[in-house]
Amino acid sequence: GAGVSQTPSNKVTEKGKYVELRCDPISGHTALYWYRQSLGQGPEFLIYFQGTGAADDSGLPNDRFFAVRPEGSVSTLKIQRTERGDSAVYLCASSLTRVAGANVLTFGAGSRLTVL
């Protein structure tokens, strides 16, 4: 597609429930990233995919968070046993493999998760 698409745009859930957030990156972009933005803060790195594999998942806060990208395109961020502290905007970004210079990421509009 023309841009990075994220669904749902808004998700309200109850504490303890399971949530899936989907990201459809720009066609042809091999690198995909998930970031999380809490209120009043900048985005924080969660995980990076190069192709189908998670090359760096060091930003995932704990084992309740998991992400997949089975065919190297669409990615799903999965959160188990949600907690109120998980409430945030989850941003997905994609990029081409960098050749030279700064690696410029293109972000989606985000999925706003609210855990009651």
Partner 1 sequence: DQQVKQNSPSLSVQEGRISILNCDYTNSMFDYFLWYKKYPAEGPTFLISISSIKDKNEDGRFTVFLNKSAKHLSLHIVPSQPGDSAVYFCAASLETSYGKLTFGQGTILTVHP
Q: Can residue 88 be called a binding residue for partner 1 (CB under 8 A)?
A: no
Q: Can residue 113 be called a binding residue for partner 1 (CB under 8 A)?
A: no
Nearest distance, CB of residue 9 and partner 1, angstroms: 8
Which residues within the stretch 28-87 sit at the binding site for partner 1 (CB under 8 A)?
Answer: 31, 33, 35, 40-45, 48, 50, 55-56
Task: Pick between residue 14 and residue 99 the one whose CB is nearest to partner 1.
Answer: 99
Structure tokens at 20: 């899936």
Contact 54, 33 (CB under 8 A): no
Phi and psi at 72, nearest 5°, equal: 80, 15
Q: Can residue 93 be called a binding residue for partner 1 (CB under 8 A)?
A: yes
By CB under 8 A, the count of residues binding partner 1 is 28
Q: Is 33 exposed, middle or buried (0-12, 13-18, 19+ CB in 10 A)?
A: buried
Task: Pick between residue 96 and residue 116 the one whose CB is nearest to partner 1.
Answer: 96
Report how far residue 116's alpha carbon sits from residue 114's, in angstroms, rounded to the nearest whole number. Answer: 6
5-7 and 10-13 strand pairing: unpaired
Contact positions toward partner 1, by CB under 8 A?
Answer: 4, 31, 33, 35, 40-45, 48, 50, 55-56, 91, 93, 95, 98, 101-110
